[in-house]
Structure 1
Amino acid sequence: MLASILFFFMGFVSMAQGATPPPPSAPDPPGAPIDSNIAILFCIALTFGIYKMYKLSKKKA
């Protein structure tokens, strides 16, 4: 019953919004420069994963 009521009032909420779009926002700041070093980051993550797998297999044996 509650879901039906909420679904019914959803139409009123969406119609209550104005038709004019909001003003454009300021441009986003430049992102973090990880694009140039993504291969190094991948290699470090792969090496760390292999190290952890080796350490876990050594622990079980």
Structure 2
Amino acid sequence: MKNIASFLRLSFATAGLFLLAGGANLVQAQGPGSGGPEPDPQQPTAVPIDGGASLLLAAGVGFGLKKLRDQRRRR
């Protein structure tokens, strides 16, 4: 029984190795392409940081207040 199990383990490992080695020939990288449009140096990209930052700040304050309230209830 041990011989059959070791034979199957060896054959599956060998088959997996051949599948990986054969599949490596099919994988090809994509060409560099055009690189996309160039950004205009006179007009910087607008990023709305304020909206997300204020929401994160409000969520942090609310979470802190909840933790303080829970801590006071336990006493």
What TM-score, normalized by structure 1, do the two folds share?
0.50
Q: Which has the larger radius of gyration?
A: 2
What TM-score, normalized by structure 2, do the two folds share?
0.44
